[in-house]
Chain A
Amino acid sequence: MSGRQRLAAVFSRCKTEGRAALVGFLTAGDPGVQESKQLLLALAAEVDVLEIGMPFSDPMADGAVIQAASERALEAGTKLADLFALAAAVRRAHPALGIVLMGYGNTALATGMEHFANNAANAGVDGVLLVDIPPEEGAICDDALAQAGLARILLLAPTSSEARMQLVGERATGFIYYVSLTGITGAKMGAVETIAGKVAAIRQHTNLPVCVGFGVKSAGQAAAIAKVADGVVVGSQFVGLVAQHRTDIAAAVAALAAEAGGMRRAIMEASLI
């Protein structure tokens, strides 16, 4: 089964259950590679799709929380080999989970795009989201990702025009990630009504699942988004818990499981209403 197929299966399973998917993000290697493995496995048990952040020295689209996570991971010596090993460990434990790598184009390009895509696919990754490679620059990665069976997840934002929705609708595979706000990760979430309108507009241009993220911090917000989108992405909230408990990994694992579990239940309840 290719990564694309597995991602499609995840979203169709959620749809059958009448609920949105919970997508959770953590930065690989934060606060250290071994600790990161425990944290990723804990989060993986609560979510439908796990987004593994690839640490980068210059994370331009990220707010302070995820920047700090990147810095901790790099200071701990996290390498690409660790990233793939972490993904593979999660895959072994969770055969049906969606696994996505998220980060910046330079990380994927550094060792050659085909090499990167093959390593990702071999580790059991399903899709890749490179925030600074928009569809216009897809020539640099689209073929390599497609040949490895990986989904090319693309973003849309409040500033995106109808023409861009169409372009992204044509080029994206796996799912579309709608950024709920005009800003960086971890900022304040936009109004749910506005988000609902945008998601509806995006659906005019695609049959792919539309997930909404940036600024989702509470179970209440997750539930509200779950009613209007196919998936809810939570990142800075989880990464913030890791930062808070980084000297006590057992506590971090417990906090993550509780927070993600709360969001998962809120999303399920939202589907019943």
Chain B
Amino acid sequence: MSDSSIPPITHAPDAGGHFGRFGGKFAAETLMQPLAELEEAFFAAWQDPEFHRQRCDLLKNYVGRPTPLYHATNLSREVGGAQIWLKREDLTHTGAHKINNTIGQGLLAKRMGKPRVIAETGAGQHGVATATVAAMFGLKCDVYMGREDTVRQAPNVYRMKLLGANVIPVDSGTATLKDALNDALRDWVASCEDTFYIIGTVAGPHPYPLMVRQFHAVIGEEARAQMLAQAGRLPDVAIACVGGGSNAMGLLHPLRDDDVRLIAVEAAGLGLNSGAHAASLAAGRAGILHGNLTYLLEDLEGQIQGTHSISAGLDYPGVGPELAYMYEQGRLELAAADDDEALDAFHRLTLSEGIIPALESSHALAAAMRMAAEMAPEEIVLVNLSGRGDKDMESVMRREQAGFSEGTP
């Protein structure tokens, strides 16, 4: 993408934000007008070369893009089979892909003259990315985070506070990401006049799924060009983990018109049959939550179920509506990795390549290693290494110390 060009929007939803039967604007009446204003502001900004000039400048000089594409030769050799290549989103400023989106939405907030931003966060990466751009743009920032997540991702809570953001622990419901989203929506219903809600994933009412996808598409656009430049060809398979689906849409959207298999890896938690997982596409059904119609983990009466994953960032009972659409259209394949497989992948990448991945990204890696082992050496598996594992040090340590004492004969 050259600085002055306006990137085309392909595979757009219909005017109401529907991807087939999914998506839409299932929002309270109070939010319909603010959503219409946001939609107008987004499309106006997207047509404005100055917006892209500012965005690209920040992505390059502030975020550190383009991020490298790395051929993990040690890991590939160890696994045996196909080549594993990593898109290194872990090397962005703040340590995860989330900042691609918060730069875009932060710029929009400035254009719309909103002095305050709010966000929901699970693992804390989106909260940190929002707090970061709020500090840089001079915006007041409140971040909603489930009480349980503030405990298991404590370092990120402190980072947000250092960045000047106010972290609001959420105790309602299951006290995780979905409840943080509920409370952020409740805040926005009352504050939409002066507040911009920076949603952190490709879900929520239109235009969020489209907008967040467009801001993250830089991942796949870069990776596509880098594959051609470094390997001389496109990958056979592209893999990303899916909670809400932002890093997955970022990597996969620019590859969807190519002859590349697209794989979404969901968190299988304690196992897909355990009832303790977060695999909305594999085990959910279509319903309405958080402003869109999509696959949800719910009971037969539509009550949203609690989820479990070792990674807070994947611990969400829904999924972006466009992923639901791509899955039903047959363009997206599903895979799953459970807590143990993700932990195993976490260690193997760390030991073989000296790269400590986020637990979220470790799910994608686990599925990639499984697939690569069955493929030929000339084939390529591209993995989105969506974030780094610094935030997970404490929870991995705690878990392994506990496991060590229990499991040692």
Interface residues of B in 180-217 (CB under 8 A from A): 182, 185-186, 189-190, 192-193
How many residue pairs bridge A and B at CB < 8 Å? 119
| CB closest chain-A residue, reference B300 | A110
For residue A262, which residues in chain B have a CB less than 8 angstroms away from its CB? Answer: none
| A88 interface residue (CB < 8 Å to B) | no
For residue B304, which residues in chain A have a CB less than 8 angstroms away from its CB? Answer: 57-58, 106
CB distance from B182 to the nearest CB of A (A): 5
Q: A57-B173, A137-B26, A187-B190 are in contact. Are A107 and B302 (CB under 8 A)?
A: yes
Q: Are the CB atoms of B288 and A155 closer together than 8 Å?
A: no
**CA of A67 to CA of B25, assembled, Å:** 22
Q: Are the CB atoms of B29 and A58 closer together than 8 Å?
A: no
Central interface residue in A62, A67, A131, A159, by most chain B CB within 10 Å: A159
For residue A194, which residues in chain B have a CB less than 8 angstroms away from its CB? Answer: none
For residue B298, which residues in chain A have a CB less than 8 angstroms away from its CB? Answer: 106, 110
CB distance from A152 to the nearest CB of B (A): 13
Q: Are the CB atoms of A60 and B290 closer together than 8 Å?
A: yes
For residue B302, which residues in chain A have a CB less than 8 angstroms away from its CB? Answer: 56, 106-111
CB distance from B314 to the nearest CB of A (A): 18
| CB closest chain-A residue, reference B182 | A60
| B406 interface residue (CB < 8 Å to A) | no
CB distance from A164 to the nearest CB of B (A): 6
**CA of A79 to CA of B296, assembled, Å:** 19
| B27 interface residue (CB < 8 Å to A) | yes
Q: Which of A176-184, A222-230, A243-251 contacts B (4 or more CB under 8 A)?
A: A176-184
CB distance from B385 to the nearest CB of A (A): 32
Q: Are the CB atoms of A136 and B33 closer together than 8 Å?
A: no
| A219 interface residue (CB < 8 Å to B) | no
Interface residues of A in 67-86 (CB under 8 A from B): 67, 71, 74, 79-80
| A261 interface residue (CB < 8 Å to B) | no
Partner of A110 from B32, B34, B179, B301 at Cβ < 8 Å: B301
CB distance from B116 to the nearest CB of A (A): 15
For residue A131, which residues in chain B have a CB less than 8 angstroms away from its CB? Answer: 28-29
Q: A67-B172, A182-B190 are in contact. Are A58 and B26 (CB under 8 A)?
A: no
Q: A interface, how many residues as a size bin?
A: 35 or more
**CA of A131 to CA of B298, assembled, Å:** 19
Q: Are the CB atoms of B190 and A184 closer together than 8 Å?
A: yes
For residue A105, which residues in chain B have a CB less than 8 angstroms away from its CB? Answer: 26, 288
CB distance from B186 to the nearest CB of A (A): 5
**CA of A109 to CA of B287, assembled, Å:** 7
Q: Mark A98-113, 1 if CB is under 8 A from B, else 0.
A: 0000001111111100
Q: Mark B1-44, 1 if CB is under 8 A from A, else 0.
A: 00000000000000010000000111111111110000000000
Chain A interface helix/strand/loop/mixed: loop
Q: Mark B279-319, 1 if CB is under 8 A from A, else 0.
A: 00000001111110100101011111000000000000000
**CA of A161 to CA of B31, assembled, Å:** 11
Interface residues of A in 128-148 (CB under 8 A from B): 131-134, 136-137, 140
| B178 interface residue (CB < 8 Å to A) | yes
Central interface residue in A58, A110, A132, by most chain B CB within 10 Å: A58
Q: A74-B303, A159-B33 are in contact. Are A60 and B186 (CB under 8 A)?
A: yes
Q: Are the CB atoms of B300 and A160 closer together than 8 Å?
A: no
For residue A71, which residues in chain B have a CB less than 8 angstroms away from its CB? Answer: 173
Q: Are the CB atoms of A161 and B301 closer together than 8 Å?
A: no
**CA of A133 to CA of B30, assembled, Å:** 12
For residue A134, which residues in chain B have a CB less than 8 angstroms away from its CB? Answer: 25-29, 32
For residue A155, which residues in chain B have a CB less than 8 angstroms away from its CB? Answer: 28-29
Q: Are the CB atoms of B25 and A159 closer together than 8 Å?
A: no
Q: Are the CB atoms of A159 and B32 closer together than 8 Å?
A: yes
Q: Are the CB atoms of B30 and A107 closer together than 8 Å?
A: no
Q: Are the CB atoms of B288 and A104 closer together than 8 Å?
A: yes
| A216 interface residue (CB < 8 Å to B) | no
Q: Are the CB atoms of B29 and A107 closer together than 8 Å?
A: no
Q: Are the CB atoms of A159 and B30 closer together than 8 Å?
A: yes
**CA of A105 to CA of B26, assembled, Å:** 8
Q: Are the CB atoms of A56 and B303 closer together than 8 Å?
A: yes
CB distance from A206 to the nearest CB of B (A): 15
Q: Are the CB atoms of B288 and A157 closer together than 8 Å?
A: no
| CB closest chain-B residue, reference A59 | B182
For residue B173, which residues in chain A have a CB less than 8 angstroms away from its CB? Answer: 57-58, 71
| A61 interface residue (CB < 8 Å to B) | yes
**CA of A67 to CA of B175, assembled, Å:** 14
Can you list 27 A-B pairs, Cβ within 8 angstroms, ordered by A? Answer: A56-B303, A57-B173, A58-B182, A58-B289, A58-B290, A61-B28, A61-B30, A67-B172, A74-B303, A105-B26, A106-B296, A106-B302, A107-B302, A108-B302, A109-B288, A109-B302, A110-B302, A132-B288, A133-B26, A134-B28, A134-B32, A136-B32, A154-B29, A160-B32, A164-B32, A179-B29, A184-B189
Give the interface of A toward B (CB within 8 A): 56-63, 67, 71, 74, 79-80, 104-111, 131-134, 136-137, 140, 154-161, 164, 168, 179, 181-184, 187
Q: A63-B186, A109-B287 are in contact. List 17 more A-B contacts (CB 8 A).
A: A56-B302, A58-B173, A61-B186, A67-B172, A107-B302, A109-B286, A109-B302, A111-B301, A132-B28, A136-B24, A137-B24, A140-B293, A154-B29, A156-B29, A157-B29, A159-B29, A160-B29
